[in-house]
Structure 1
Amino acid sequence: MLKDQLRDFIDSLLERGHVCDDDVAMLQGEILSEGITSRLEVESLLALDRLVTAVEGWGTALTRLVADFVVWKRAPHGAVSNDDALWLATLLEISGPSPNAMAIAYAILDEAGHVDVALLDFIMRGRQQARLSQIAA
């Protein structure tokens, strides 16, 4: 279940269609000051990311929040299990390897002591797609 404050925050951003610097500060300082606490919160924020435009700080904040949750708040701490890697790779793949999705995957790879191959596969597909896009351009 989503916290009411986070649900209201997401609803207002969807209505407005844009995330500004004040929104990022509110998310980090008030709404998720203790970080993300559930998969549903991650799923909701990643869905929001696909639907709105945002200031640059949004991607940085989203990346940090998701990476901290996956690496440090899920067991085993400091590693990414097969279950979490499959779940997250599936979420990140929904709209293709966006810059924020790739940043999240790389942040987790940098921070975790062990990352399951499912997340590594997502990174490789994203890199391949980026290479193919450059060739086609």
Structure 2
Amino acid sequence: MLKDQLRDFVDSVTDKSHVSDEDVKVLQDEILKDGITSRLEVETLLTLDRLACAAESWGAALTRLVVDFVVWTRAPHGSVSNDDALWLATLLEISGPSPNAMNIAYAILDEAGHVDAALLDFIMRGRQQARLSQLAA
């Protein structure tokens, strides 16, 4: 179940189609001050990332929140299980590998002691797609 505060935040941002620096501050300092606590919260924030334009601070905040949840809140701590890697890679893949999705994947790779191949596959697909886009331009 989604926290009421987070649901209200998402509704507000969706209505204005923009995540401001102030929104990011409220999200980090008040709504998710103890971090993300469920997959549903990650899914909600990644959906919001695809739907709204955002201030520059959004990407870094989103990345930090997701990395902390996947690497340090989920067991085993410091490692990304096959189940979590498949789940996250599937979420990050929706609508193609966006810059924030790629930043999240790379940050997890940097921070975790072990990352399942599903997330590595996502990174490789994203890099290949970026390379193909550059060749087509």
Secondary structure at 1:11 match in 2:
helix
Aligned CA RMSD, in angstroms, stands at: 0.3
Deviation at 1:95, TM superposition (A): 1.0
Aligned twin of 2:99? 99
- Matches of residues 6-21 of structure 1 in structure 2 within 5 Å? 6-21=6-21
What are the superposed Cα offsets for residues 87-135 of structure 1, whole Å, 9 maximum, x if unpaired?
0000000010000000000000000000000000000000000000000
Tell me the TM-score normalised to structure 2 length.
Answer: 1.00
Aligned twin of 1:76? 76
- Matches of residues 5-84 of structure 1 in structure 2 within 5 Å? 5-84=5-84
Paired-residue identity, %? 81
Runs of 4+ in 1 over 3 A off after TM superposition: none
Aligned length: 137
Tell me the TM-score normalised to structure 1 length.
Answer: 1.00
Counterpart residue identity of residue 55, structure 1? A
Q: Which runs of 5+ in 2 are unaligned?
A: none
